[in-house]
Amino acid sequence: MKEFSFQTRQENIKKMQNENFDLLIIGGGITGAGVARDAAMRGLKVALVEANDFAFGTSSRSSKLVHGGIRYLENYEFHLVFEALSERAKLFEIAPHLVHPLRFMIPLFENSRVGPFLMGLGMILYDALAVFQTPEMHEKLNKIETLNRMPIVRGSDLVGSFIYSDGYMDDDRLVHETLRSANDSGATAVNYVEVVKANYSMNKISSVQVRDKNSQKVFDIKCAHVISTVGPWTDLVGEKLVSDWKKILRPTKGVHLTLHKDRLNLSSAVVMAAQKSSRIVFAIPRHEMIIIGTTDTDFQEAPETATVTADDIAYLLRVTNEYFPGAKLTEEDILSTYVGVRPLVKDGSDVEGKTSREHTIMSDPRGLTFVAGGKYTTYRLMSEQIVDRALKSFPIEKRLGLNRCDTNRPLNNWTTPDSYEQAVYEAKNEKEEFLASRYGMEAYKIIEENDDDLSVWQLEAIQSIRNTMCLNLVDFYVRRVPLMLGYRNHGLQFLDEIVEIFRSELDWSDNETRSQLEALKKFVKEESDWRLKK
């Protein structure tokens, strides 16, 4: 695959200043990345600008589940569940190195809000909506079987449980791999370039003014059509683009925390119901860590200002301790936390958790398309629908010359489902095992192209810099590798070896290195600020 690095960024910024684009996509989360890939594969000339790091927004702060959303059955959102389950099946195929099947347990207690009969019906419906192509069909376990399978779950008033299948993913890496694929198909994407305003000619969009946050340079990108995929920033960016913007979002905040797996040894993910509410909280095992989340509370401020509060943490710990009383989890057990804002569209619901996760696509006759809402799981389909909608504003001659949507192909040429299995099977040592599980066959290319004595984190740093446009240490720790979330001390023990690579690859001076280290330390400190704000 083609390089997608700092060097690519420099070249792409030049192109953006000098060329005309069919489409300018604003926002490099999963929606923008998916639209860029789809449109570029169809043959459109595409530019994408992201104001921060790619996947900086909601797309790196999700529960990291590729799921039909079993709880949406309660809201009778069958269409949403069916669509998501069918997309889940496609994601297993197109990104086998990023999306993996996972079993989920729903323990049932004497006073559970949904009893065994209704839950059983829900399970049958869930498997049926997946057209029985689920990785494994659901099972019903009695109390003893449940405790055999998950000895640490509360036994006192346990009745039994249901087990079903869904998937988990590396959300941030799914964005990067989708963008790499878009880059391969000719899309021109850059990070740290922010949209400032739109320019019109004869009441049609003609260009968008942007600011390169690295050089502070302001320039215009000429384009025939703009697609805004800025998730929870939709109202803020909408106001910059059109003077008569009407707010459409009802954003909600979602907090997660992570634990080391030693503190909660789960044999599968667990779906936990918060007492006396329809909210559910997941406990999700992922390699060395367990992710617990999420909260769901209205949030009206700028998305980047969302913070974790001591109340959010107390709520998640309380629910988890109710299900696993023997674990006696406390704040001391928390490795890390993260917070995201859901770009939900107002639908008049009285309760946050009931606001629909369906997406909305809006066309503006001045040559703009706005997208909001939706789920990670359905990003591929959503992108297809967005490009179809945007194309309606293009002349018929232009449309006739384009290819059809072809995004069911693997994101990464190195990694098909078969070659992924082979890559994992062939791994001969720890380094190969780790990298093959994350990159499939590309792992061997990464190893071959670099010195034998480099550690896995150094190889990860090289890969991130050369192929995901990673520009700094915070972005590496937070959105390229699981160090910030999953490792004790956030993996800072590997900092020296990682910095060595960044210095040589990006030619950092002593001053630059110092300010990068300070930025990382500041980030780590702020990440645990909730502990001080009690």
Could you tell me which of 495, 493, 489 has the C-alpha nearest to residue 476?
Answer: 495
Structure-token match 């109340």, residue found: 311
Q: State the nearest-atom distance from the C-beta of 157 to ligand FAD, in Å.
A: 29
Q: State the nearest-atom distance from the C-beta of 242 to ligand FAD, in Å.
A: 14
Q: State the nearest-atom distance from the C-beta of 179 to ligand FAD, in Å.
A: 11
Q: State the nearest-atom distance from the C-beta of 73 to ligand FAD, in Å.
A: 16
Q: Measured from the CB atom, is 229 or 464 closer to ligand FAD?
A: 229
Q: Measured from the CB atom, is 229 or 416 closer to ligand FAD?
A: 229
Q: Measured from the CB atom, is 67 or 286 closer to ligand FAD?
A: 67
Q: State the nearest-atom distance from the C-beta of 14 to ligand FAD, in Å.
A: 19
Q: State the nearest-atom distance from the C-beta of 295 to ligand FAD, in Å.
A: 8
Q: How does DSSP classify residue 429?
A: S
Q: What is the dihedral of CA 75, 81, 84, 90, to 10 degrees?
A: 170
CB atoms within 10 A of CB 159: 15
Q: How does DSSP classify residue 274?
A: P
Q: Measured from the CB atom, is 160 or 176 closer to ligand FAD?
A: 176
The three-class DSSP label of residue 317 is helix
User: Residue 380 in contact with residue 37, Cβ under 8 Å?
Assistant: no
Q: State the nearest-atom distance from the C-beta of 61 to ligand FAD, in Å.
A: 6
Q: Which residues contact 3 (CB under 8 A, 6 or more apart)?
A: 466, 467
Say how far apart CA 144 and CA 150 lie, in whole Å: 10
Q: Measured from the CB atom, is 376 or 414 closer to ligand FAD?
A: 376
User: Residue 56 in contact with residue 340, Cβ under 8 Å?
Assistant: no
Q: Measured from the CB atom, is 295 or 419 closer to ligand FAD?
A: 295
Residue 183, Ramachandran bin (φ over 0: left; ψ between -120 and 50: alpha; else beta): alpha
Structure-token match 């390229």, residue found: 480
Give contact residues for ligand FAD (rule: CB under 6 A): 26-32, 49-52, 56-59, 61-65, 67, 194-195, 229-233, 237, 254, 294, 340-343, 374-377
Which token pair is 193?
Answer: 């370039």
Q: Measured from the CB atom, is 376 or 477 closer to ligand FAD?
A: 376
Query: Which is it for strands 204-212 and 218-228: parallel, antiparallel or unpaired?
Result: antiparallel
Q: Measured from the CB atom, is 107 or 340 closer to ligand FAD?
A: 340
Could you tell me which of 281, 279, 263 has the C-alpha nearest to residue 271?
Answer: 281
- 91's enclosing H/E stretch is helix 78-94
Q: State the nearest-atom distance from the C-beta of 66 to ligand FAD, in Å.
A: 6
Q: State the nearest-atom distance from the C-beta of 282 to ligand FAD, in Å.
A: 8
At CB < 8 A and 24+ separation, what contacts does 487-493 make?
Answer: 487/288, 487/335, 488/260, 488/335, 490/335, 490/336, 490/524, 490/527, 491/457, 492/520, 492/524
Q: Measured from the CB atom, is 341 or 473 closer to ligand FAD?
A: 341
Say how far apart CA 362 and CA 339 lie, in whole Å: 27
* Cα atoms in the 13 Å half-sphere on the side-chain side of 239: 6
Q: State the nearest-atom distance from the C-beta of 340 to ligand FAD, in Å.
A: 3
User: Residue 422 in contact with residue 441, Cβ under 8 Å?
Assistant: yes
Could you tell me which of 98, 368, 353 has the C-alpha nearest to residue 229?
Answer: 368
Determine the number of helices (DSSP H) and then strands (DSSP E) in the chain: 18, 18
Q: Measured from the CB atom, is 460 or 475 closer to ligand FAD?
A: 475
Q: State the nearest-atom distance from the C-beta of 404 to ligand FAD, in Å.
A: 24
Q: Measured from the CB atom, is 312 or 333 closer to ligand FAD?
A: 312
Preceding peptide of 513 cis, ω within 30°: no
